[in-house]
Structure 1
C-alpha cells in the first residue's frame, strides 16, 4: 500500500505529456468544465480496517488490512465555476483479518472478513483555479453502501465460523485529487478517507460470545485510491 501511495503522488509526472508542465503549455480541453453534465469511470485500490469500541477494558482485536480493488462509474453535474455534484456508484472488494487475543484455539482466534460493498456516494467537489492543464480539488460527502457479503440473514454465527455484519451502512468521505487535462481525456487520481457512521457488527446469539460479547461498536474506516478517466 505504501507503493500505491507513492504512485499516487508521482502519477502526474508519470502521465505527463510534452509541454504539460512547461511555463506556457498548450491548453487541452479548454471548455471541458463548462459542460453541464459529463461522465467517466474509475479504477483503484482500497485498504479498510475496523475502529472498535469495547464495553469493558480488554486487549484490542487485532485487525490486519489487505489491499482491495475498486471499480465504478462517475456522473458529474456542474453547479458553479468551482463546484460540482458527483454521484460515483462503485464496487469495492476487500478483506480484513481479525485476530482475537483472548481466544486460545488457533482456528477460533482468526476471522477472515471478506466484504463486497456497492457504494452509492453523493459528493461535493470543490476545484481550485485551473493552472494550465492542472486543477487540484477537494471532495467530500456522504454515501450508503450495501455489503453483499454481510451474512446478515444467516442464523449461524461465530460459533459456526460465520462473522456477521449489517447489510446497509452509511459513510462519510473526504479527500483530495487533481485533474490532469490531456489532449483526448482527463486523468484524475485521488485519495480519500472513508468512515462508517454506524455500528456494523451483528452480535452472536450468545450474549457472552468471546467474539462479540464485549464489543460496543465496530465501524469501518480506511482509504480509497482511485484513478478516474473522463
Structure 2
C-alpha cells in the first residue's frame, strides 16, 4: 500500500518532477560549460606577437668565484710546515633591472635587460697566520656594485593554454662601480678588476595572466675574464685566477 501511495504521488506530480530535473540538468551543463570556457580562455592572446614590449625583473643570484690556485699555493701545500687552505664560498646577492623585448621571428626574441647587481663574494683562507703569531680562519669579502648589460636571445616553445616554456642565452658585460671600496684596506686585501663579460644561458616559463605576463627563470652565468689583480701580497700570491660564477633565480614581470 505504501509503495502504491508513493507511486500515485509521483505520477500526480510527474510534470513538475520532469521540469525540475530538466532545470537541474541545464544548470549543471551551463556550469560545466562556464568552467570549461574559463579553463580554455587565453589570457593576453597575441601578446608575444607584438614587435616590442617592456617589463622589469627581480633576481636572487647564488654567487661565488671560481678559483685557480697558483704555484706558490701548491708549493706551500707540499711543505712540511703548516699551510694555508684557500677556498671560495657561495653567497647570496640581489639584482634588478628593466626589460626591452624585440620580436625577431615566430619563436625567437632579442632581449636587452640592463640592471644593477649587488654582490658580496667571499674567499676563505683557512689556517692563515695572523700578526699575533696564531693561525686561524679568515674570510676576505669583496663587495661589488655592478652595472650589467645583458644581451640575450630567447627561443620560445609553442604556447599551451597560458603557459609557454623557453630557453635563453647570450652575453652579459658588467662594470664594477665598487672598485675604490675593494681596493681599500690592509696589505692583505684582495683586489679585483672592474670589467667582465659573462656567458649566460637558462630556462624559464612564461605564465600569462589577464593583465600581465609572469616568468620565473633559472639562469647560469660564467665570467670569461680573470678578475684577480695581483698585488704581490701573501693572500694574492696564493691565487692564479678568479672568475665570476652565478646561478640566479629571476622573476620577470612584462
Q: Give the TM-score normalised by structure 1.
A: 0.82
> Aligned match of 1:29 in 28, 39, 44?
44
What pairs with 1:14-163 in structure 2 (closer than 5 Å)? 24-56=39-71, 57=74, 58=77, 61-101=86-126, 103-105=128-130, 109-151=138-180, 154=183, 159=187, 162-163=189-190
**Would the aligned equivalents of 1:55 and 1:215 in 2 still touch at CA under 8 Å?**
yes
Q: Give the TM-score normalised by structure 2.
A: 0.74
**Shift of residue 143, structure 1, vs aligned partner:** 1.1
Relative to its length, the structure with more helix (as a share) is 2
**Shift of residue 113, structure 1, vs aligned partner:** 1.2
CA distance in 1, matches of 2:186, 2:68: 19
1:190 aligns with 2:217: yes
CA distance in 2, matches of 1:109, 1:96: 14
Specify the alignment match of 2:80 in structure 1. none
**Shift of residue 24, structure 1, vs aligned partner:** 4.5
> Relative to 1, partners in 2 of residues 1:33 and 1:53: Cα closer, same or farther, differing over 3 Å?
same
Q: CA RMSD in A?
A: 2.4
**Would the aligned equivalents of 2:63 and 2:91 in 1 still touch at CA under 8 Å?**
yes
**Would the aligned equivalents of 1:83 and 1:126 in 2 still touch at CA under 8 Å?**
yes
User: How many aligned positions are there?
Assistant: 206
Structure 1 unaligned segments of length 5 or more: list them: 1-18
**Shift of residue 84, structure 1, vs aligned partner:** 0.3
**Shift of residue 158, structure 1, vs aligned partner:** 5.1
CA distance in 2, matches of 1:165, 1:150: 8
Q: Helix, strand or coil: the match of 1:48?
A: strand
**Would the aligned equivalents of 1:97 and 1:113 in 2 still touch at CA under 8 Å?**
yes
- List per-residue Cα deviations over 1:149-193 (Å, max 9, x = no partner): 133995x6651x543211111101010000000000000110101
**Would the aligned equivalents of 1:152 and 1:166 in 2 still touch at CA under 8 Å?**
no
**Would the aligned equivalents of 1:46 and 1:225 in 2 still touch at CA under 8 Å?**
yes
CA distance in 1, matches of 2:47, 2:54: 12
Determine which structure has more spread, i.e. the larger CA radius of gyration: 2
> Relative to 1, partners in 2 of residues 1:211 and 1:45: Cα closer, same or farther, differing over 3 Å?
same
**Shift of residue 100, structure 1, vs aligned partner:** 1.2
Specify the alignment match of 1:176 in structure 2. 203
> Relative to 1, partners in 2 of residues 1:70 and 1:64: Cα closer, same or farther, differing over 3 Å?
same
**Shift of residue 102, structure 1, vs aligned partner:** 5.2
